[in-house]
Each structure stands twice: as C-alpha cells, then as structure tokens.
Structure 1
Amino acid sequence: MCTRYISPEDREIEDFWRIDRRKHRPKDWKNLLTVFPLSQATFIRRAREEVDYERELVVGQWGMIPPWSKTHVPTTARGTRLSTVNARTKGMEKSPTYKDAWARGKRCIIPAASFDEPNWETGKNVWWRFRRADGAPWGLAGLWSTWIDKETGEVWDNYTMLTLNADGHPLMGRMHKLDPKLPPDQQDKRSVIPLEAQGFDRWLTCTVEEAKEMLKVPPIELFAARAVDEDDRPAAAPVTPA
C-alpha cells in the first residue's frame, strides 16, 4: 500500500496532461510536493460541466470520505478511523466506501513524480522510491468522490489510489512486510496501477467493464526503483485535526 508520494509541479501536470490552466487551474493553489494521507493534493478527472470531453485538475483530500462520515477524516458509522488512501480492486464493487464511485465511473488519475514503498528484506523498514524509467510522471489509477459537511456546507472533493495484488511480481512483490500467518505465495503484496499515456482518456471515460481490463500489475521494465537515502526522506506527515 502506498502511503506517501511526491507530486509533480503544477506546471508539469498541466503541460503533461494538456490541461488548460486558465480554465481548470484551482485558484490560489500551490501544489504540495510530498503528499501524505489526508493531505490536500491535485488529481485529474473528466470535467463534469463539459458537454465535450475535457480533463479537469481538481484539489482534493487523499483519503476517500465515506458518505456516512461525520467529519472529513474518514470514519466508520461508529466513528472508528478508516484508512482509505488505498482501495483494493478486489472487493471494491461491494465496498460501502468505494462501490458508488466505481459503479458511477468516477475514476481519476493521480499525478506522481514518484511514490515510496517499504521494503523489509533486511528485517527493518527501508523505504524504496519508484520513478518511471522513461522519466515521465506517473499517472496512477484512482477513484474520486465528493463529500459535503452537513454542519458547514463545505464541499470536500476526495480521492483514493487503487491497488492490485502483486504476489510474484519481481519488484513489487518484494515490498511490504511478510504476513507470518500466510504462505509465501499468498502474501497479497500490493501494487499501485500506473496508466500509460495512451490510456488516460480511456480510463476517464470508458465503461466499468472496460475499466476492469485496465487493472493490471505493471511490468518491471516500467520502473526505476532504488532505496531512499537518509537525505531523500520526506519530513514526517503533518498532523491533521479531526
């Protein structure tokens, strides 16, 4: 599961995804570089108000907010904190948190210059950083929704990053801690789902059945990965009030 990533600069996002900054750039917004759970960051979706297809750059919370949550911090109906920055593709069609966004085609692209994953092969956590081998930014598959605070009327766009089982993958299968309760070939190691440039528009506009075909573990050739040096490590995640 990915719990931190680095976003490209605003101008790079706009240029790479061909987004008209005069029309869709959020006002008075400077994109974060290192993004943690519950951070406000940018994602790309199909512009809802357009008759013809157009991409839209949106600021939202990383961590999907269930419709029953009483605050923007995701919680269960009983008020227990939920982790919703990653959504497992298996079971999301029935998940109370994700099923509506998936069924309604509310898919998004999450721009990332790189993302980090933990590696425990040495017996302790060593963070690895993943960039694209071709130098382009990642376009990671996600879902989005909108939540409205019933007390204030404030509108919160929010999103989650989709993950797929990566058991047996030569690179992504090495990440994360082993579960001693599971056999080696059934660890359910997770991978994000990078989209290729030729598939961006399809992901944002296609049917649910067509979107399922795009949920694939990426080939190892796509990655440029290395252990993160001490100097490269981001600051600790900011504390977000409830």
Structure 2
Amino acid sequence: MCSHYEAPSMDALRAAYDVAPSEPVTHDLWPGYTGPFIRQAQDADPDDEDAPHLDALVGRFGLLPPWAKDEKLARKTYNARSETASIKPSFRGAWREARHCIIPALSIYEPDWRSGRAVPTRITRRDGELLSIAGLWERWRSPAGDTVHSYSMLTVNADDHPLMQHFHRPGAERRMVVILPQAQVEEWLSATDAQSAEFLRQYPAERLAAEPRPGR
C-alpha cells in the first residue's frame, strides 16, 4: 500500500502527458493532501483532431464518494484493492462508472522491515521516467457547496513480487500500486469497467529501483 509519494513538476507533467493542472500542486504527498491526476478529457469534441485527449486536475489524495460526510474519509481511501474495488462502498461508484485516472509520481515510499525496523525506501522507475499509477477518481460536493475532486491508487497483491515483497510489516500482506507502461495510459483512461481488470497487474521488478532513505 502506498501512503506517501512525490508528485512531479509541471514541466515533467507536460513532458509525459502533454497536460498540466492550472492550479499549483503539492509535491510531497500524504493522504488528504492535494495532488495532480490525469483523466480522459470530459468535453472533447471527438471530431476535432487537435482537441486535447487528456485533462489534468488537482484533487484530494483519498477517494471521497458522494455520500462522504467530510474530507476526513480521504485518510482511509487513498488505496483501493483491485480485488474488491467493484464492491466496496467507497470505490464501487467510481469503478462502475469507469472513472479511471492516472496518478503521476516521481517516486513512491514504502517501509522496508527486513532489518527489524521500518526503513523508508524511495522507489522509482529505473529509467528515470514518471510512474503512471492507475487509479479511480471522484467528485464530491462539500457541505459549503464546493466541488472537490479526489483520487485513489489501485493496488494488487505483491507477495511474490521480487522487489515489493520486501516491504511492510512482517506477516502483513504485501501490496503494490498498479504502475502502467506509458503505452497503456490512454487505453486505461478510456477502458470500460468490464475491461478494467486487464490492466491490474504487477509492474516488472527489473524496471524499478529502490533506495533506502533512513534519514527521512
């Protein structure tokens, strides 16, 4: 599970996805913080070849379904288990409506417990490119009437993953976020709910790099 990650700069977002949010973003992100996410353009003219295919927005890290009473729920809904997202009350609406998004990240942080204590470890793509994390997005109406966007990272089991099996507490299930190859980004964003499961798989360990950060 991922509760801490680094968001890229505006320039890096434009280079990777050709879009960036109009609002400033937080780069060191935890549940409840506001960060960028990418979704399929909502009002694009399908006959206009020059129209942008993607939108970049800022939203709460942690999904807020329409029935949420307040934004505190985001502290518990920042990751969605791919096996149960279609039935869990917090996620099933976004799953059913195929509100797919990409959460762009420079890196994610996970605790390495092999030494007997948690060592924060920074995980990146070995080639230096951004991590395109598959997620779900929602829109929520606050008690004040404001529209708040939010998002959650989808995860899969990683008990047998050569790298990610080393993270989290002993005895706990190993999980990892779903990282998509760049070629699948737009396919994921346009996929139907019935097609969602085709994208939810482990990212190859040899394409990832892990660096301990004991000072954090």
CA distance in structure 1 between the aligned counterparts of 2:3 and 2:93, rounded to whole angstroms: 23
Tell me whether 1:152 sits opposite 2:144 in the alignment: yes
Alpha-carbon distance in 2 for matches of 1:176, 1:111: 22
Aligned-partner residue type, residue 56 of structure 2: L
Indicate the structure (1 or 2) with the bigger Cα radius of gyration.
1
- Aligned length, in residue pairs: 211
SS at match of 1:156: strand
Identify the structure with the greater strand proportion.
Answer: 2
RMSD: 1.4
* Unaligned ranges ≥5, structure 2: 47-51
Deviation track 1:156-191 (CA, whole Å, cap 9, x = no partner) reads 000001110001111101100022xxxxxxx52100
Please give the secondary structure, in 2, of the residue aligned with 1:90.
coil
Question: In structure 1, how many angstroms separate the alpha carbons of the residues matched to 2:97 and 2:3?
Answer: 26
2:56 equivalent in structure 1: 57
Runs of 4+ that moved beyond 3 A: none
Deviation per residue, 1:188-224 (Å, 9 max, x gap): 2100110101001100001223221110011111101
Q: Which residue of the other structure, out of 112, 128, 141, is the alignment partner of 1:119?
A: 112
Residue aligned with 1:70, SS = coil
Counterparts of 1:51 and 1:164 in 2: how far apart (Å)? 35
State the distance in 2 between where 1:55 and 1:117 align. 29
**167, 170, 190: which one aligns with 1:175:** 167
SS at match of 1:102: helix
Q: Which runs of 5+ in 1 are unaligned?
A: 76-81, 180-186, 234-242
Q: In structure 2, what residue type is equivalent to 1:196?
A: P
- How far has the Cα of 1:229 moved from its partner? 4.1
Match of 1:166 in 2: 158
Q: Indicate conservation of the 8 Å contact 1:66/1:74, yes or no.
A: no
Q: Which moved more, 1:46-55 or 1:190-199?
A: 46-55
TM-score by length of 1: 0.83
Partner of residue 131 from structure 1, selected from 118, 124, 130: 124
| Aligned-partner Cα distance in 2 for 1:158–1:227 | 30
Q: Which of the residues 24, 27, 49 maps onto 1:33?
A: 27
Match of 1:210 among 195, 211, 215: 195
1:225 pairs with 2:203: no
Query: Which residue does the alignment assign to 2:176?
Result: 191
